[in-house]
Structure 1
Amino acid sequence: MRFIFFTARAVTGDRKRSLRLAMDITTALLIGCVAVLFNRIFSNSFGLYGILLVMLIGGGLLGNLQFRKRGQVDVRKIFRAIWRLGFFAMGIMYIVLMAAGIAQHMFRV
């Protein structure tokens, strides 16, 4: 994330835009990492599909909320909100699953 942030900041000169770009790119990488960790820890292949399912359900819920409040749906805002919330959720899940994976590997009999 730091490499992306500093590269984008050097190119654009805008700190907020660079931070958003770094978060967006890191989210995609975190989704892949969390999916692989989930698959390895639980010995299945549902990780990526589960993440995408939760993100789609969250987008649907936000879209419904936005439609009820404003009468129209702005898909771009919903996608951006879900993507940015995904950054924080995937960061937390990465830490939890990495700790679980290390513990599982250390205490395996």
Structure 2
Amino acid sequence: MGAIWNSIQIVYTALAVIPILPFAIVLFGYGAIVQNRKKALIMAMDVSTVFFILCVSALFNIMFKSSFGLYGILLVMILAGGLLGNAQFRKRGSVDVKRVLRAIWRLSFFVTSALYLLFMLISLSKIVFTVA
């Protein structure tokens, strides 16, 4: 039982550290099943957003020596949801919560993937240029 648990931990660690892996796995695996690239891309974005959020929050905590990374991301997502819901209410007179949540979730994919690339480049450059 311990070997199975260790292998699950190793797989999760690899997926959490490199969130592009779950994106590619879902994109190609689900794409092969449904034979629809658009559905596969959307599913891959939705699944890998969790991994991007966790990885970016960990990188933020390491870079800035704080523990606010995850809370900051969640705070920005809640504020963006409130702003988007308010805009939808002003335009239509009602709020479609499902659409707002989906929009915030997909926007957070793009923002966290860009932050992931930025933080990884900064971290790697710190490692390379401090050693040399």
TM range (shorter): over 0.9
More contact order relative to length (CA 8 Å, sep ≥ 6): 1
Q: Percent identity?
A: 50
The reply to whether residue 30 of structure 1 matches residue 30 of structure 2 is no
Deviation at 1:15, TM superposition (A): 1.6
Query: How far apart are residue 104 of structure 1 and its match?
Result: 2.7
Counterpart residue identity of residue 38, structure 1: F
Equivalenced residue count is: 109
Instruction: Give ranges in structure 1 of 5+ residues lacking alignment.
Output: none
- 1:15-26 matches, cutoff 5 A: 15-26=37-48
Matched, 1:81 2:80: no
TM-score using structure 1 length: 0.93
Q: Return the match for 1:2 from 18, 24, 32.
A: 24
**2:75 corresponds to which of 53, 73, 91:** 53
1:69 aligns with 2:91: yes
Of 60, 66, 88 in structure 2, the residue corresponding to residue 44 of structure 1 is: 66
Q: Distance in 2 between matches of 1:95 and 1:18?
A: 22
For 1:92 and 1:79, locate their aligned partners in 2 and report how far apart those are by CA, in whole Å: 20
- In structure 2, the residue matched to 1:94 is 116
Q: Which has the larger radius of gyration?
A: 2
**TM-score scaled to structure 2, two decimals?**
0.78
